[in-house]
Structures are given as C-alpha cells and as structure tokens.
C-alpha cells in the first residue's frame, strides 16, 4: 500500500498536501511490531527445533539402556548431568531437603505432582490400613476403643482357655487331675 501511495504521489496523482497527511507513521509502527513478532516467533521455532533434537537424543539414550541388569556409575553418568542439593529446611518440624536433578539432553527433571485424592488416603491410614487416631472424630475414636477392647478381651479369654486346657492335659491321669465342680468352675482335687 505504501508503495502504491508513493507511486501515486510520484506520478502527481495525489497532491503533496494529502500525501503528507497520510498515516505513514502508523504503517511504520505496524511494520516494526511485525518485525519484532517475526523475530520472537523465529526464536521459538529455533528453541523448539533444539528441544526436539535434544529429546530425540535422550530417547535414543533410553532405548540403548532399556534392559540393564546392573546399576553402575557409567549408567548413572549416561543419564544424569548434575544434581544440586539444597540446604535442609526444618521450619515445618520435619527435615526436608530439595534436590534438583538435571538429566542429559533434557535438563531439569521435575517429578509430577500427586493429586490430593491420591495423597489423602496415604496420610490418613497407618501401616495396617486403619485410619490414624488424630484424623478421627471423637465418635470414631470411641468406636475404635470399644472394638479394640472387645478383641483384646476375646484374645485374653482364648489364651486363658488354651492355658487351662494345656494344664488339664498335663494333669490328666494323675492324682491332681482337674475336675469341674457343681458351679462349672474347674478345681484341682486330689483323688486318693
């Protein structure tokens, strides 16, 4: 458009007054913006191509070592470029230490974040799969206590019954044989 306008002005089709009033500065600003955007997009294309080549090299490395039988220093050096160990943080009450792992060809490796739903059951349950007491309501704590007490008393009663049966088996046929009395209680009676 600018070329046609200039040609029209040069051919005396547009008077100088109209030509000087045309918004040529707007066209120059737009052209400068387009040039900047072209440079930015070219930079992104170059970065994409570089990343693509590096990703291909990393995939090739992974394919070379898909089936290894022993973890060695050579294998570690093939994959890991560097590891940065940050200072330990104890502000939360637990010792936490951040590590940055940089892999060859792809750079810093970030572990994917676990979703909250996946983390919650692990935090709420103990080693036996039971809900931890400090996450329970008072009613749940009371029910758990009652259930634990019931199983404990059954366990103790079974243990006492087993001991009594063992004692009776040992004393059977001796003068100290255990014989039940009229109330159903067992007592040791010396038979003569």
Scanning the chain, the segments in alpha helix (DSSP H) are 2-10, 16-21, 24-64, 73-79, 116-124, 138-171
Question: Tens digit of pLDDT per residue, the chain (192 long)?
Answer: 667 767 776 777 777 766 666 666 677 788 889 999 999 999 888 888 888 888 888 888 888 877 777 878 888 888 888 889 989 888 888 888 888 888 888 888 887 776 554 444 455 666 666 777 777 888 888 998 899 899 999 999 999 999 988 888 888 878 777 666 555 555 555 554
Check residue 80 and give its pLDDT: 87
Q: Which residues pair with 184 in a beta bridge?
A: none
Check residue 117 and give its pLDDT: 47
pLDDT digits over 49-102, tens only?
888 888 888 888 888 877 777 878 888 888 888 889 989 888 888 888 888 888
Check residue 192 and give its pLDDT: 47
- In 3D space, the residue among 98, 76, 100 whose CA is nearest the CA of residue 89 turns out to be 98
- In 3D space, the residue among 174, 167, 169 whose CA is nearest the CA of residue 190 turns out to be 174
The domain locations on the chain are 2-64
């Amino acid at each position: 458009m600018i070329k046609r306008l200039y040609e029209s002005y040069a051919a005396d089709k547009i008077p100088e007054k109209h030509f000087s009033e045309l918004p040529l500065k707007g066209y120059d600003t737009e052209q400068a913006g387009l040039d900047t955007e072209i440079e930015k997009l070219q930079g992104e294309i170059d970065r994409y191509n570089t990343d693509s080549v590096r990703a291909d090299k990393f995939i090739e490395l992974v394919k070379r070592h898909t089936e290894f039988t022993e973890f060695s220093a050579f294998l570690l050096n093939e994959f890991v470029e560097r590891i940065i160990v940050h200072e330990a943080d104890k502000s939360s009450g637990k010792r936490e230490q951040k590590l940055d792992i940089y892999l060859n060809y792809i750079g810093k490796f970030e572990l994917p974040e676990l979703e909250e739903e996946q983390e919650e059951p692990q935090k709420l349950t103990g080693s036996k799969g039971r809900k931890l007491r400090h996450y329970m309501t008072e009613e749940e704590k009371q029910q758990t206590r009652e259930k634990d007490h019931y199983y404990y008393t059954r366990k103790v009663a079974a243990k006492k019954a087993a001991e009594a049966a063992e004692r009776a088996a040992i004393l059977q046929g001796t003068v100290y044989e255990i014989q039940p009395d009229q109330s159903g209680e067992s007592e040791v009676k010396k038979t003569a």
